[in-house]
Amino acid sequence: MALKIAKNLTDSLRGAQPSREVAARTYLVKETDPLVKTVLDGRYRVLSRIGEGSMSTVYKGQHELTGRIVAIKVLRREFSMDEDSTRRFRREVKAISTLSHPYLIAVHDVGTTMAGQPYQVIEYLQGQSLADVIQQRGALDPQRSARIVSHICDAMEHAHSKGVIHRDLKPENVMLTNFGGKPDYVKVVDFGIVKLTKESQLVSQRLTTTGEVWGSPQYASPEQCMGQDLDRRSDIYSLGLVLYEALTGKPAVSGKGIGQIAVKHVRERPASFDAACPGHRIPPQLEAATFKAIEKDPARRFQTMAEMRDALELLFPGIGAAAEPPAVDHQVSSEQPGQQTAGMASGRQTIPSSAQLARVAGSAAVGKGQATVAGDALSASSNIQEPATDQSQQIGRQPATKQSGNVLKSGGGAPSLQTILIVAAVVSALALIAVLLMVMGRQ
């Protein structure tokens, strides 16, 4: 069993490497990158190289006309010569383009360099990854950890509702930016090994079976390790591991090699918080929620990201309220020219608090002349009737359950003229009938 698990994991990781023919044509990066100072498709000037991943290089760029600072993610040349790698890169673009959420990285444009390398123009972020923050500070405050993860839940609930599974959630893929002087504004990045579960299902499965890399071993779900079909609960497991690491400062699963790590994912329960981080006071309810997310059996985990988010917000009321970004941010912007994203009236939509949702929901009429005022964010989001003011729908927040709040008498409004005339006619008819009955009684 252990050998099978290790083989599944090793085969997948090997699949991330280009073929021998492609590897032989590896592009050697010179001290002066040939893309720097060039203009892509007459629109984006490449300013500098700012990072490099396993398959792509990221540059800082600027739109020639608007001056907006962007990030440009370019598939490395050796991978651009490989059909499967190019297809995966384009699939990432397709996946992200279907999403519109303030906590997800935004794609502005796509294209191909003169050398035939596909590229994405994405949101330029300034901040630190969650991995860097944990490395620098160790275990984070429980409330801060829960708030960050609850916002990731919001983002991934939206992605899952669009049929997109990330498959590589880890601290390195969570950016914490600073918007309007408010820290810890979450951005989930790197959908490079995303799986589309709807119309692209067959293509996704075929790419996966060729040995596609599907995630980082330390954050892979048991079903990933065993090569089984994945659904949104695999992301929930990975996010549970992220929460564990944020709370303890240590990864939940570690080992000397891929095989040992895989076996632990499948068979071993991570150490308790007391054992992993002695003296760090973590509420028992938060530990229970964390371990529910990382259950080995998917059926015993939270079944949706909304359920996980609600469990965290129940423990720390108020963490669902987002740090509001500035109305216009020229350094970091998710708007596409000529197109509006969620809540674009003032730049970006923020996650509404329970009180804000309740105020919006208070004016929504629901059946039999009564208005239900939500007791929390879940019921409020399910009772808002007016699309123009439905903030939870704009950000893609999905309620896990529907609850009823306090029931108040409807104040109503002034009756219409038609209603007054109908009532008057009925009263007149009744009066006439009464007079007729009196006259007939006297006779």
Kindly tell me if the per-residue pLDDT of 156 is higher than 60.
yes
Kindly tell me if the per-residue pLDDT of 242 is higher than 80.
yes
Kindly tell me if the per-residue pLDDT of 385 is higher than 70.
no
Q: From CA 181, how far away is CA 323, in angstroms rounded?
A: 9
The pTM for the full model equals 0.66
Q: Which residue has the higher pLDDT, 51 or 352?
A: 51
Label the pairing between strands 107-112 and 127-129.
unpaired
Cα separation of the two ends of the chain: 102
CATH of domain 127-315: 1.10.510.10
Q: Which residue has the higher pLDDT, 165 or 11?
A: 165
Q: Which pLDDT tens digit goes with each residue over 321-351?
A: 654 453 333 333 333 333 333 322 223 333 3
82 assigned to active site: no
CATH of 2-123 given 3.30.200.20, 3.40.50.720, 3.30.420.250, 3.30.43.10: 3.30.200.20
- Mean pLDDT within 69-96: 83
pLDDT at site 131 = 96
Q: Are 241 and 219 in contact (CB under 8 A)?
A: yes
CA neighbor of 351 nearest in space, from 313, 391, 407, 400: 391
Which structure tokens are listed for 298?
């998917």
Q: From CA 197, how far away is CA 166, in angstroms rounded?
A: 11
Tell me, letter by letter, the H, E, C secondary structure of 386-401.
Answer: CHHHCHHHHCCCCCCC
The pLDDT-based confidence of 133 (bands split at 50, 70, 90) is very high
pLDDT at site 71 = 95
Q: From CA 434, how far away is CA 269, in angstroms rounded?
A: 82
Q: From CA 320, how far away is CA 358, in angstroms rounded?
A: 14
Task: State which amino acid sits at residue 13.
Answer: L
Q: Considering the candidates 154, 168, 184, 310, report the single residue annotated as catalytic.
A: 168
Q: From CA 238, how far away is CA 42, in angstroms rounded?
A: 40
**DSSP character at residue 172:** G
The pLDDT-based confidence of 416 (bands split at 50, 70, 90) is low
Task: Delimit the CATH 1.10.510.10 region(s) of the chain.
Answer: 127-315
